[in-house]
Structure 1
């Protein structure tokens, strides 16, 4: 265990030295991405919900579950963080250059990285709810995790565990809850409330041909 932690320390120093050797504009991009990346995941949640309004109930259920599963990933990460009182590397690693962003105060522990847990959970949740989007969200999550080490506020093992933990929690939540949430979506889509139906979407039936919505006897010419 100590060997792995020593390796993480060395990797942290290597990344910190590399960060300080990059141009100021690149450092600025990393500082922006470490926070703004979370906002982009939020935009993707909204886009996923909007496109699912015309999809099957299971598709809408997964879209609704995606942000919820991500929230669960954060809660589990934060709970673990409160049990492992690991000091931030920007304060604990001897000889490390100053972090690019303000070092969080003592008591805001380092392990695991909540940002990475959120990113990992969001990446997996979106990949499960939106076919093909994983090619975008997984690299986004990895870049988010790396940026936390780059700006100097997390060890490599913090972000690695955060990514894996968040992704695992999101996967389990999505798989466990998709059926009951899908049933709720079906109920919402048959509601008499226009607002509820608008939120849940009408599903594929909204674009079905007119004749497909007529009574069966009418389609066969019975009068």
Structure 2
């Protein structure tokens, strides 16, 4: 049994001109620890697929047919049970994923305490470990997002995604907002961290 199964997924939007089919019969499987690339031009439905998996399709859109299964169980009607815990998402713009008024440390600790059994000192220690894994000094726990470069902010977002100890990370164009010189570094970091933890990744990109 695959970790994730997307089976003939169709997403439709109601418009004045009728139904607009945004996704049509999308199917794929993802195994534990697999690094899966989803490549296509802008508007092809890549991000829509990721949003559908996490239950982030808002009205007037809806999953019209098909199924999404995690460990063999359908999650179409209960995405809130897995969103942020079993499945995390990394968005294109790291600033949109970070609270500008809260330190990086507090954001990591909050995520750890929300989705794992670690509390207090144990959660803080895990936050320190995550920063060390992304090559950021522990003393930056008290820093705010605006005090980091774009590449460092995206590394912090990766750490936040890993903080909930998910089975799957959906990375939606995670290097789009970064300089070419740091794009490969961020992707290599994501791959190495997920391989170490056995986390599966769906990498959404328009670059081959």
Task: Tell me the TM-score normalized by structure 2.
Answer: 0.21
By percentage of residues, which structure has more helix? 1
- Select the structure of larger CA radius of gyration: 1
By percentage of residues, which structure has more strand? 2
Task: Tell me the TM-score normalized by structure 1.
Answer: 0.20
